Structure 1
C-alpha cells in the first residue's frame, strides 16, 4: 500500500497547495509528507511539484498525473467500501464539521450512540460558526444552517428550523421590546452580531407583511461564536438572532423573551453537505443516516 499512501499524499498536497496542511490533514508529520511525495516522484521518474520557500506548485506532469491519481484513489475507496459493506464492519476516520449550536445541541450528544453501534469508526468532530470549505479542509460531512453554498457537493435537507429574535427581561425593561424590524435600525437597539473576518456591515432578514426584508442592524459587540452571543443576550447586553432549538431552554425558563414578534426571522434550512464520491463509503452513509434520524427526533421533542 506504499504507493497508494504516496498517491493519497500527492493528491492532498495538490489540492491544498501546501505540504504542511496536507500533512496535518492526513495526520502525519511534514517530513513524512515530503518523503512520500519524494518517493512517488522517484517511482515515476518525474518532478510533480515545483517547490520554493514560499509556495509549492504542480508541474505539467503533476497536473496530468492528478486526474489519474484521483481516479486511482476513487477505485481503491470503492473497493474498500465494497469489502466493508460485505463484512458489515465499516471502519476508518470520519471528519465532520458543524456550526457550534448545531454541533453542541444536536450532534455531539449522539456521537456516543453512533460509536456504540460502529466502534471501528473514528469520528473527528470540529465545531465552528465560520464558513467552511469542504475540499480544502478535507471534510467528509458538513452540517450547515442557512442558505447552502454554491458547490458541486451533494446536499440532504434535514429540517426547516424556526428562528427567533430574543433578549433578556432586564434588557427589555431598560430599552423596551421592539415589535418590528424597523424598530431595530438607526442604533435604536443593541443587536448582537455574528461576524467573520472581512465583514463590513450586518443585516438581518425578517418576514414582514410585504415579504422578507433586510434591515441594517448594529451593536456595540460582535463575535464569531454563536454561543458567546447567547451568553451576552442572557447578560442583558442586547438582542440575539438564534435558531429556536438553540435557545429553547432559555425561552421556556423565561431567561430570554422573544421580540419583534410581528416581523420574525424566516426559517433556516438545516442540511448536511457531502462530496458525491465520499457518500458511497458505508461509514459516511451510516453516519449521515443515523444523525439525520436522531436530529429529526430531537427537533420534534417538546421544549
Structure 2
C-alpha cells in the first residue's frame, strides 16, 4: 500500500498546494509527506513539484500525473466501497464538515449514537461558518444551509428550514419593534451581521406582498460565529436573522421576540453534499442516512411551541 499512499499524498499536495497542509490532511508529519513525494518522484524518475521557500507548484509532469493519479485513487476507492458494501462491518473514516450552529445542535449530539451502532467507522467532524470547498479540503460529506451553487457535487436535500428575525425585549424597549424590512432600513436598526472572508455585502431577503426583496441592513457588530451573534442578541445588542431551530429555546422562553413579522425571512434549505466519487461509499451512505433521519427528528422537536 506504500505506493498507493504516495499517490494519495501527491493528490492532496497538488490540490492543497502545500506540503504541510497535505500532511495535516493525511494526518502525518510534514517530513513523512515530503518523503512520500520524494519516493514517488524517484520511482517515476521526474520532478512532480517545483519548490521554493514561499510556494509549491506542480511541474508539467506533475500536472499530467495528477489526472491519472485521481483515476487510480477513484478506482481503488470504488473497489474498496464495493467490498465494504458486501461486508457485515463497514469500516474506515468519514470526514465531515458543517456550519457551527448546525453542527453543534443537529450533528455532533448524534455522533456518539452513530459510533455505537457502527464502531468500525471513525468520524472526523469539522465545524466552521466559513465557506468550505468540499473537494479541495478532502471531505466525504458536508452539511450546508442556504442556496446551492452549481457544482459537480452530489446533493441530498434534507429539509426546508424556516427562519426568523428576532431581538431581546431590552432592545425592543429601547428601539421599538420594526414592523417590516422597510422599517429595519429606514430606522437604522442594529442588525447583527454574520461575516466571514469572501462574504457578500450584508443583505436580508424577506418576503413582501410583492414577492422576495433584498434589504440592505446595517449594524455596528459582526462576527464569523453565529452563536456569538445569538449571545449578542440576547444581551440586547441588536436584531438577528436565524434558522428557527437555532433560537427555538429562546423564543419559547421569551428571551428573544420575533420582529418585522409583516416581512418574514425566506426559508432556507438544509442539504448534504458529497463529491461524486464518495456519494456511494457505504460508510458515507451510512453516516449520511443516519444523520438525515436525526436532523429531521431534531428539527421537528425544536420548532417553537
User: Would the TM-score normalized by the shorter structure come out above 0.5?
Assistant: yes
Is 1:105 equivalent to 2:105 in the alignment? yes
Query: Is 1:187–1:218's contact at 8 Å kept on the other side of the alignment?
Result: no
Structure 1 residue runs without a partner (length 5+) = none
Hey, what's the Cα distance between the residues in 2 that align with 1:17 and 1:186?
47
Question: What are the Cα deviations for residues 75-106 of structure 1, in whole angstroms up to 9, with x where unaligned?
Answer: 11112112222222111121111111111111
Structure 2 residue runs without a partner (length 5+) = none
Hey, what's the Cα distance between the residues in 2 that align with 1:281 and 1:188?
50
**Superposed counterparts of 1:242-257, under 5 Å:** 242-257=242-257
Hey, what's the Cα distance between the residues in 1 that align with 2:145 and 2:187?
27
Question: What are the Cα deviations for residues 217-254 of structure 1, in whole angstroms up to 9, with x where unaligned?
Answer: 11111001000000001111110000001100100111
Hey, what's the Cα distance between the residues in 2 that align with 1:143 and 1:187?
36
Hey, what's the Cα distance between the residues in 1 that align with 2:20 and 2:101?
30
SS in 1 for 2:135: helix
Seen in structure 2, the aligned counterparts of structure 1 residues 159 and 198 have a Cα distance that, compared at 3 Å, is: closer
**Superposed counterparts of 1:62-77, under 5 Å:** 62-77=62-77
Query: Is 1:160–1:270's contact at 8 Å kept on the other side of the alignment?
Result: yes
Query: Is 1:186–1:217's contact at 8 Å kept on the other side of the alignment?
Result: no
Hey, what's the Cα distance between the residues in 1 that align with 2:200 and 2:281?
41
SS in 2 for 1:137: coil
Hey, what's the Cα distance between the residues in 2 that align with 1:206 and 1:200?
17
Match of 2:152 in 1: 152
Hey, what's the Cα distance between the residues in 2 that align with 1:86 and 1:136?
29
Hey, what's the Cα distance between the residues in 1 that align with 2:40 and 2:197?
38
Match of 1:82 in 2: 82
Query: Is 1:91–1:283's contact at 8 Å kept on the other side of the alignment?
Result: yes
RMSD of equivalent CA atoms: 1.2
Match of 1:190 in 2: 190
Match of 2:120 in 1: 120
Match of 1:266 in 2: 266
Match of 1:285 in 2: 285
Match of 1:215 in 2: 215
Hey, what's the Cα distance between the residues in 1 that align with 2:199 and 2:4?
42
